[in-house]
Structure formats: C-alpha cells, structure tokens
Amino acid sequence: MNGIDLVPLAVGHLIGLAAIGSGLGIGVMGAKFLEAAGRQPELMNELQSKVFLLMGLIDGAFIISTGIALWFTTANPFKGG
C-alpha cells in the first residue's frame, strides 16, 4: 500500500471534518445569536448582520476545503509521473 491508495481516505476525512466543523460552528453561533437577541432585543438588527457575515466566512472555509479535496481527487499532485 502506497500513499496514492490513501488519497480517497484523506479526501473523505477532509470533506467530512470540514463539514462537521462548519456545522458545529454555525450551530453554536446561531445559539449564541438567539441568546443575545433574547437578552437585548434592541441590538438584534446589528447582531444579525454580523451573524450573516460570519456564517458566510465559516461556509467559505468549508467550500474551500471541499474544493481542495476534489482537486486532490481529480488531479492528484502527489502522484509521480
């Protein structure tokens, strides 16, 4: 077994761990947003814009990770010759 045989396993881990991390991050952030909005409803509009901005950044990291994983799948840079 060489390193090329382990690329599908590595790609699966890369996509899976990124999805889990993204899901947990957005879930915790959403819970904290609802908690903060419940405590201070007058700040809800200001907090909502920041939550959507951070949600896009968290999802952006997941999408970049998926892109790199799919790049490794189709054009493996570790394959020699």
State the catalytic residues.
Answer: 59
Q: Which two tokens stand for residue 4?
A: 């090329």
In angstroms and rounded to an integer, the radius of gyration of the C-alpha atoms of the chain is 18
Q: 């790609």: which residue's tokens? A: 11
Residue 48 · residue 33 · CB < 8 Å: yes
